[in-house]
Structures are given as structure tokens and as C-alpha cells.
């Protein structure tokens, strides 16, 4: 059974990040320094601490630019929306690949017919 937010608060009642003016920051957990280094290293340590799953993808934008203006879709409000968009995008990419392969075959066939 997974941890709840209440379990995490009991384990880590105090999580503090000092973010310096340059590239460095420090993570303190329950009063003790746990990480120091570039900001991204501190971010990674926090994600690891809380078991955050990170997915590098723009799919949460649902094909838009994040603004929801000019007819573009607004960003996803739920994870289910992101997952549905990802499945649809993947299916479109697969179909596009199939069509490209068919087009290449047809071009080759046409070239063979007229001697190219």
C-alpha cells in the first residue's frame, strides 16, 4: 500500500530549500542538509524524497501552447486528459508512419512503371 500525504508529513515535517542567487541551492530535511548543488540537483532530490514520477513530455499541453488562446486547447486539468491525449497522439504518429511507408512504396512503384 502506498504512502499518503499524511505519512510523508510525518516522515518529513520540515522540508526547506534555500535557493541562491546564482546556480546553487540547498535542501534541508528535518533540520539537516540533505543536498547542496545546482538547482536541478535539489529539485531531483525533492522528487526522489517524495517519490514523484517525472515524465518528460509536452503532452500536458494537449497540443497547445499552454495559453488556451487563439483556438489552441488549454492545458490538461487531469492526468486522465494527458493520458488520453498521449494515446491519441501515439496512434496518430503510428498511422502517419504507416502512410509514409505506403507513399514510399507507391512512389517506388510509379518510378518503376515509368522507368525512373
Q: pTM higher than 0.85 for the full model? A: no
Q: What are the tens digits of pLDDT across the range 54-106?
A: 899 999 999 988 887 888 899 999 999 999 999 999 999 999 999 999 999 99
Q: Where are the domains of the chain?
A: 1-54, 58-116
DSSP, residue by residue, 86-107: HHHHHHHHHHHHHHHHHHHHHH
pLDDT confidence tier of residue 7, bands split at 50, 70 and 90: low
Query: What does the alpha-carbon distance between residue 36 and residue 29 come to, in Å, rounded to a whole number?
Result: 12
- Which has more pLDDT, 53 or 101? 101
pLDDT at 107: 96
Whether the predicted pLDDT of 3 surpasses 70: no
Query: What does the alpha-carbon distance between residue 35 and residue 28 come to, in Å, rounded to a whole number?
Result: 7
Sign of torsion over alpha carbons 34, 37, 42, 45:
negative
Query: What does the alpha-carbon distance between residue 46 and residue 16 come to, in Å, rounded to a whole number?
Result: 10
**Average model confidence (pLDDT) across the chain:** 90
Amino acid at each position: 500500500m502506498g504512502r499518503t500525504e499524511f505519512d510523508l508529513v510525518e516522515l518529513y515535517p520540515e522540508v526547506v530549500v534555500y535557493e541562491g542567487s546564482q546556480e546553487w541551492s540547498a535542501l534541508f530535511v528535518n533540520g539537516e542538509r540533505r543536498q547542496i548543488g545546482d538547482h536541478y540537483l535539489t529539485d531531483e532530490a525533492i522528487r526522489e524524497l517524495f517519490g514523484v514520477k517525472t515524465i518528460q513530455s509536452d503532452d500536458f499541453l494537449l497540443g497547445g501552447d499552454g495559453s488556451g488562446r487563439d483556438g489552441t486547447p488549454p492545458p490538461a486539468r487531469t492526468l486522465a486528459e494527458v493520458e488520453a491525449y498521449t494515446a491519441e497522439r501515439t496512434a496518430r504518429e503510428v498511422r502517419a508512419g504507416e502512410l509514409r511507408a505506403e507513399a514510399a512504396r507507391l512512389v517506388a512503384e510509379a518510378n518503376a512503371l515509368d522507368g525512373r
